[in-house]
Amino acid sequence: MADYKPHVVLFPFLAQGHINVFLYLATLLHNHNPSLTITLRSSLPPTFSLRLHSLPFSPADFGLPAYAESVADLPFHQFLTFFNASNSLLPAFEDFVADIAGKDIAPICIITDIFFAWTVDVARKHKVYHSTFNTCSAYGSAIFCSLWTHLPYKNTTSNEFPLPDHPEVVIHRSQLPDHLLDADGNDGCLATL
């Protein structure tokens, strides 16, 4: 029974604001239960006994620079391309989960970034626990989801507009990033919301 150590797999989106929060989550989990096995998808050095697991990713296959392993390596206008390219991680992620699910007798929990909705299907297939971790505040998430879901700025010529889900919130067009302004409703990000 000495090998019975629960295993937590952390799977952040490769953007600084996401990786840092997942590292903090790993620290909290470790401090709460030092006997946990924690695996993080990252190339960052661990601050405690943390397993790192890399997945093959070829950004050049998607028209991105070959060195682009996170959104920090890209100009802002390529964010959506990187986001969609990250879906190519699914086969390697599934192989990794299948491998640990086949070896571990202890419970496994996958905690993934909100941008990796497809991981829930992997967890169900291998009968492991799954949770989605949102690295943004509740307010920011609500605003972002409303903007992506409704694209309210597409229905007005005004520079200011209310959000359909939150009419008390008025947004100015200048507050929107370019990838939101360029969205047309057929963007891959909408599938994750």
Q: What does the radius of gyration of the chain's CA atoms come to, in whole angstroms?
A: 19
What is the spatial distance between Cα 187 and Cα 135, in angstroms, rounded to a whole number?
21
Compute CA 5 distance to the chain's CA centroid, rounded to the nearest angstrom: 25
Residue 7 to residues 29, 47, 75: CA-CA distances in angstroms? 11, 18, 36
Catalytic residues: 18, 113
List, in sequence order, every residue forming a beta bridge with 161; answer none if it has no partner. Answer: 171
List, in sequence order, every residue forming a beta bridge with 163; answer none if it has no partner. Answer: 166
Helix (H, G, I), strand (E, B) or coil at 141: helix
Task: Supply φ then ψ for residue 108, to 5 degrees.
Answer: -120, 135
- Strands in 37-40's sheet, in edge-to-edge order, are 51-52, 37-40, 7-11, 108-113, 129-133
Helix (H, G, I), strand (E, B) or coil at 161: strand
Nearest in space to 68 (alpha carbons), one of 77, 76, 59? 59
